[in-house]
Every structure is written in structure tokens, then in C-alpha cells.
Chains A and B, each alone.
Chain A
Amino acid sequence: MAEETLLDVRHLVLHFATTRGAVQAVDGVDFNLDYNKAVVILGESGCGKTSLAKAILRLLPRNVSAYAGEVRLVGKDVMKLGEEEFRQNVRWVAMSLVPQAAMNSLNPVLRVGDQVAEPAMIHLGMKKEDALKLALKMFQHVSVPADFINRYPFELSGGMRQRVAIAMALITSPSLIVLDEPTSALDLLTQANIFNVLKRIKKELGTSFILITHDIATSSELADSVAVMYAGQIVETGEADKFFPAPLHPYSQKLMASVPRLRANQDPEFITGQPPSLVNLPPGCRFAERCPFRFEKCDQDPSEFRVNGRIVRCWKYE
């Protein structure tokens, strides 16, 4: 069991200090991920999903007020490692990141080939020629023409730049790639092409993915399991096969009902109210204020309940 799990996150906490108080962006998150699987972290903007990605990869801004919990990578708690050890052995070697708006994260004055090769030179200690050869191989994986290797980012379209960013995350052959909103700025057809690339990488290289997105419809393109995040907490986790047809948590249900469908004649609904501010969180269930099933018990913080192998944080399932 312990050998099978690639990543096991337990009680991960990341708070930021502001003048108004602590922003509880990630507040006790648990989930795990097996080899060659993809988990989707679903949530609306401001629910802390990008902070979760940063907490896993320890890419922290300066105003962190609390950072605790366990991130077990292949059984080893990487939270205990020192900063330098983490940089040398974990970040980009074992897990890498495709940041939000990755296509604008490339350095405009360096050729894309050099940028893709750089992690291999630094982390794997390769010579430049070898690293460039490896970069060329990565370009094949993400379907970027080989002659693009000498181009600058401005000479590439948005979709091609996104592929280059994925190639950069792939070059050190990490077992886990964190994708933060990988396609939200791209056109429909380009988006479908990128998901085809990701599926192929998963199949051919056996990579695992954490896909962070607000787009439920496209998230189903890659998901093996789903974790729904609301106000800094994960409110539901489960297998994709069970989640998409019938989500359990009232928030997940509402979120699913708000998706406009192309192929089913179903009138979408909306969720009234707004997510709570992460500074002064209400006691009890954080969704209670907007929840149609609210009852007395919801004033207390719900614990996690197991329903057929799925975990849901809601008193309804006690």
C-alpha cells in the first residue's frame, strides 16, 4: 500500500499574513495520488487552489504565516527537508510545475530550446548539447516541430508556447507534474489538442498529474479522481467515474448543475451568494450560508465521512 502511493498530502496548511489577519488559503488539506494517475483539484477563484499547488512545491511568497503538514512523496515526508535539499532533490526532479498562464512565463530573450534544456543542465548535470538533444525529444512528446527549438517565445503562438512550458516541466522526467489552469487562456481547438498531448504523455511516459482548474467540463478530459475545494478545504474526493455522474457534497452538486451542457438538454442553475472571505472564516461548515440543505448541525465544523470509498465533508452523510 505504502509503495503504491506516489504522493500523500496530510493536513497541509498554508496561511498568509495580511494587515486584516491571516488568509487561510490552504487549511488542512488531505489527498493522495497513485502512480500514473491524474487528480483534478476543482474550485472557483479564490478558493485556494493555486496556493495548494505552491504549498506542494514549496514555492512560497514572503508573507507566509503558517506552513505545516506532511507532503509524503514515495513515502518520504519532503516537508522535513531543508530548502537546498528540497531544491536539489525534489523540485523539478521529482515533481515539476506548469504555472498559470504558462505561455507568458517564458523568458522573452532566450530561445525556447535553451529554456527547455536548462532544467536538464541544472538538475541532471547534463552538457548543453546533450540537454538540447533531450529537449528535442521532449518537443516530439508535446508535438512541437523540431525547428522551433531555435525560436524565441514571441515567434510562437499561444498553444505552442503552452506546449513548450509542458516540455520544460517534462524534461527531467519527474513522476509528477502539477498543472495550474493549463488551458484557460487558450482557444477551444488548441485546448483539445493540449489535452490530447497530456493524455499521450500519461499513457506513454506514465507520468502522474495534479490538474488545477475551475473548468469542470474540460477537467473530465484527464481526471482519474477529483477533489473539490471550497474556502481552503477539500470538501469532497472520489473517483472520476463516480463523481461526474453524481457528486455528493451540496457544493459539488450545485457546481455540477451550473455547467452548461452541449449534449444534454438541461437548464443550468446558479449558486446564490458568494464564497466566504478567507480572512474571517465562519465557524462550522464553510458552505452552510449558501447551502440548500442546511440544518442545525452545520454550525459545527463537519468531519470527513466515507461513502462507498468516497470522502465527503458534510453532515448530511453522517
Chain B
Amino acid sequence: MTMLDKKTKNLIIPVKETDENVLLSIQDLRVWFELRRFGFGVVGHVRAVDGVNFELHNSEAIAVVGESGCGKTSLMKTILGLYKPTEGHVIFEKNNVSEMGRKGLQWYRSQVGYVQQDPFGALPPFLDVQRILEEPLIIGGVKNKEERLRRIKKVMAEVKLFPVEDFLSKFPHMLSGGQQQRVVIARAMILEPKMIVADEPVSMLDASVRVEILKLLRGLQASHNLSFIYITHDLSTVRYFSEQIFVMYAGKLVEKAPIGMLLKNPQHPYTLALLTATSDPDANNARTFKEVPPGEPPSLVNPPVGCRFHPRCPRMIENLCEVQDPPDFTTESGHITACWLYK
């Protein structure tokens, strides 16, 4: 049965049933932003997220990999309930996030932690660490002051901000980048959520600190049975972090696979290009040129017809790729590629 939404004239897609073990289900999600001229009349849409499907199971870690402007941040903000989906659903434990009221969202936000990209920008500069970590507890309804302090100390020990007493009264500017990011992680963890969304959590940090924070996140994920969405542009960190990897290009997921399978047998030409472009430290790199597709990702206002990668694709099939949008093909068990090569 199909219905039209009265306001947006869009098709209402019925919510699909999910099985017990699925924590988060993204169903045919579209997030479009209106482009207006002089504040009136809609002249087009930025199709930031355009038909994304996936499921996140309990205590599973997934990574969404893509370049800037591919829509990964819009996808994340929709999952967090900050943007309303234009079409499709975000289902968390059988609750539709876009239909949640005030109470529902408050509950949802206690279940989902968010680790921002820039720790210094994410921490309020005039609050000390204790106050920063206390805020979610106050909003979450923990009335007892001693209980709050106990939980703050516990979470600070978990993110290894030692000695805890010394850090309680510090302000963000007194901390190093790595310590700031630990405070951000502590804040995301303090309400004991089921899921953490991390948006490029280490891209602003130095190389030696980066690994430390990644290991900390991975450790927390394992010890608390957290589900994890890790959003990044850096393929080389993904393999230490997640089981599943989703490659995003121009608003769509072009390849979904377990990490080992994707590294061994990458299938979408875009994934292949990303893997080729990622360097390992090797002196031989200086002697060879890399084969990378020319050009830039397309505008999301007028994305190319058909496959969105076809103008840059070295293996484009004439009269097919530029005409028809490729559906998802299952090429091996658990490996899904949206590319006509695997028809």
C-alpha cells in the first residue's frame, strides 16, 4: 500500500520490520536541503543523502568512509535527530526517530553519544571539566550531587584522564588536544549510551595521539558492548576499528562489506581509487605516479544522471552507467556493490 504525504507530496514508505538484534535501522533515507532564491520559491535541492539503507546490530562497529561533501555528516546528523529526513526512516530499537516528541528525543539522546571532530570547538570554554560532564547528568535527571560526582569520576577513569582529581577543575584551554578529546568522549559516555556516533574523532590530533584515542574508543566499545558508527575519510584507521565498512560517494553508499573482504577484494571503482590513493610509508612511493581518477566529486544539486561516479570512472560502460542508476548487487555473501560491473 502506498500513500502520499499531504504536506510534502512524497511517497510514504512503510516502515520495514527489523529483527531483534538490530539496534538502528536506516531505511531508504533521503535528506534534501532546499535551495531558495531571495528567501522565496524553492529553486532546487542539495541532495546530501539520497537513498541510504543499512542496519546496525547490537555491539557492532561500522565505519562510513567518504570524502568531504559526500553527505556523511548530514547522514550522521540525521541519525542523531538533528535533521529531519526528507524521506525514509531512522528506526532506533523499533522507535522512529523523526516521530519522537520532546520526551522521546530526550530518551533517545541518553541512548546515543556523539563524539565531535574538533574537541576544542565542542567543549564550552567557560566551564570546567566537572561542569561539562555534569550537564548531561543534570538533564538526564540524576538529582543526587554525590551520585553525579561518583559517575563523573568513574567515566574519567574510563577514558584515562589520570589523576582524576586534578582534571576536575581544569578548563578546556588548559588541556592538550588528546585530553580534550578524552573529555568529549567522557561526555558522550557518561549516560551509558547503547550507541556512539563519532565524526572524524582523530583527524584534528597528532599522529602519536591519534592511535591512543582510537585504541581507547575501541576498548570502550568492547567493554561496554557499544554499537559504534565511525565516520572518517581515512581508510588506514578503519581496519583497526570496525567490522563493517560503508563507502559513501555523492549521497549514496556505493559499497558495503566486512572490512577484510573490502581490503582484499575491493569492487566499486571508487573504493579502488580510495585504496590506491592511501599511502603507506614506503620510499618506493616517490618513484611512481598514482593512478587516481581526475576531477572532483559532483555537485549534489545536479548530480550526474545514472551512476554518480560515471564521469570519473575508468571502467564506465557506455549506454548504461550514464543512463541508469545502478541498484545494489550482492557479489559475495555480505558484500554489496552498487555498480553495473557486477550485474
Interface residues of A (CB under 8 A from B): 38, 44-45, 157, 159, 187-193, 195-196, 199-200, 214-224, 240-241, 243-245, 254-256, 258-264, 267-271, 274
Contact = CB atoms under 8 A, between A and B. Distances in A.
Given A199-B289, A218-B279, A260-B214, 4 more contacts: A187-B68, A187-B297, A188-B234, A192-B290
Interface string B278-321: 11111101100110111011000000000000000000000000
A45 B208 CA distance: 11
Contacts of A271: 208
A289 to B, nearest CB: 14
A187 B210 contact: no
A189 B273 contact: yes
Contacts of A258: 207-208, 210-211
A263 B278 CA distance: 10
Contact of A188 (B277, B285, B294, B296): B277
A190 B68 CA distance: 11
B286 A220 contact: yes
Contacts of A38: 286
Contacts of B118: none
A262 B239 contact: yes
A256 B208 CA distance: 9
B200 interface: no
A220 B288 CA distance: 11
Nearest to B241: A260
A176 B104 CA distance: 61
B274 interface: yes
B274 to A, nearest CB: 6
Given A188-B274, A199-B286, A262-B275, A193 B294 contact: yes
Interface string B230-255: 00011111011000000000000000
Contacts of B279: 217-218, 220-221
Interface centre among A218, A222, A262, A271 (most CB of B within 10 A): A262
A190 B296 CA distance: 8
Contacts of A219: 281
A254 B212 CA distance: 13
B276 interface: yes
Contact of B283 (A215, A245, A263): A245
Determine chain A's interface SS by DSSP, over half rule: loop
Nearest to B235: A262
B22 interface: no
B67 A188 contact: yes
Contacts of A274: 176
Contacts of A221: 279, 285-286, 290
Contacts of A189: 67, 273-274, 277, 292-293
B169 to A, nearest CB: 20
Interface in B29-43: none
Contacts of B236: 217, 259-262
A192 B277 CA distance: 6
A267 B240 contact: yes
Given A45-B206, A189-B292, A216-B207, A262 B278 contact: yes
B208 A240 contact: no
B138 interface: no
A260 B240 contact: yes
A269 B276 CA distance: 24
B290 A159 contact: no
Nearest to B177: A45
Contacts of A159: 296
B209 interface: yes
B285 to A, nearest CB: 5
Contacts of A263: 280
A256 B209 CA distance: 13
B240 A268 contact: yes
B26 to A, nearest CB: 24
B52 interface: no
A109 to B, nearest CB: 24
Contacts of A259: 207, 236, 280-281
Nearest to B233: A188
